[in-house]
Amino acid sequence: MDASLSAATASVMAVTNVAEASAKKPQKWDKTVNVVIIGSGDAGLATAVSAAERGVKDILVLEKLAFLGGNTAIATGAFNTADPKQKEQGIEDSPELHAQQTLKGGDFRGNPDLVNTLTHNSYDTLKWLESKGVKFQPKILQVYGALWPRSHATAASKGSDYIRVLSEEAKKLGVMIQTQAKVVDIIRENQLSGRVLGVEYVNKDGQHVFVRALKAVVACPGGFAANREMRSMHDPRLYNLTTTNNPAASTGEVLVMMQDIGANVTGMDHI
């Protein structure tokens, strides 16, 4: 995973002003908050903690599963970044080299501006994670698939370390986290115009709950590797393959909802 948490956080999609519509605007909202975050993996929890640190109140994280973490909870969790500690271990590195190798590793199909944003901010993200309590092994590694020894392995439980630390921090900061809350619709002002207003989710009792988001809806729902129809639509060769992703997390339905309200997608065939 190349700077997995930084990459995920950099790819968080805010859908506050996207361009199409839902016809399900409720007559009455069941709950009103400032920010709704869909998904409780590293991207969702990092977004929640970062927003709360900056003074945003009334943040609600919705997770469709009964536990937090999505794919991050089962990932190896290696975090790639150029780090001054590399020099102590005889390794020369820089954000520029990291960017060059990230582009090369993606067959030069990546967006250079986004890749540079990732690699030039990844070390600050590493230090931010450490400040929250994530511990990394002292030896910098070159994980399988990486092009350079800049991989930082978490000290204890791999990817689940991020979830444990960030969920605890989120709760300390007053973030509300709701599990078994499957988002089924993203709601807009009018059918074909206006801001995103909130979401509709189904709780563990099968009840439909409408949540108004005064500032933003942020979608961090993971991928679609476990949805064979969706992935084979973008690459037919993938229909019969299995996946190492969490099969319950990587189902892609929120991506479809976002497209239904006009959100743009790119690189879907690179799955």
Q: What is the pLDDT of residues 99-127, one digit of tens each?
A: 999 999 999 999 999 999 999 999 999 99
Residue 11 scores a pLDDT above 80: no
In whole angstroms, what is the distance from residue 127 CA to residue 133 CA?
10
CA dihedral 233, 238, 244, 249 (to 10 degrees): 20
List, as one string, the DSSP characters of 114-150: HHHHHHHHHHHHHHHHHHHT--B-SS-B--TT-SSS-
The domains located in the chain, with CATH, are 13-71+170-262 (3.50.50.60)
CB 12 within 8 A of CB 47: yes
User: E strand or H helix at 213, and its extent?
Assistant: strand 208-219
Does the model's pTM come out above 0.75? yes
More confident residue, 191 or 41: 41
153 in helix, strand or coil? coil
Q: What residues are paired with 217 via a beta bridge?
A: 36
Residue 26 scores a pLDDT above 50: yes
Residue 7 scores a pLDDT above 50: no
In whole angstroms, what is the distance from residue 92 CA to residue 90 CA?
7
Rounded to the nearest 10 degrees, what angle do helices 95-105 and 112-132 cross at? 120
Give residue 230's Cα distance to chain centre: 19
Per-residue confidence (pLDDT) for residue 212, from 0 to 100? 98
Instruction: Give the residue-averaged pLDDT of 36-62.
Output: 98
Task: Of 11-20, 88-97, 106-115, give the lowest mean pLDDT range.
Answer: 11-20
Q: What is the pLDDT of residues 179-236, one digit of tens each?
A: 999 999 999 987 667 899 999 999 999 999 999 999 999 999 989 999 999 999 999 9
Q: Is 172 exposed, middle or buried (0-12, 13-18, 19+ CB in 10 A)?
A: exposed
CB 149 within 8 A of CB 141: yes
In whole angstroms, what is the distance from residue 57 CA to residue 2 CA?
32
Question: How big is the chain by its Cα radius of gyration, in Å?
Answer: 19
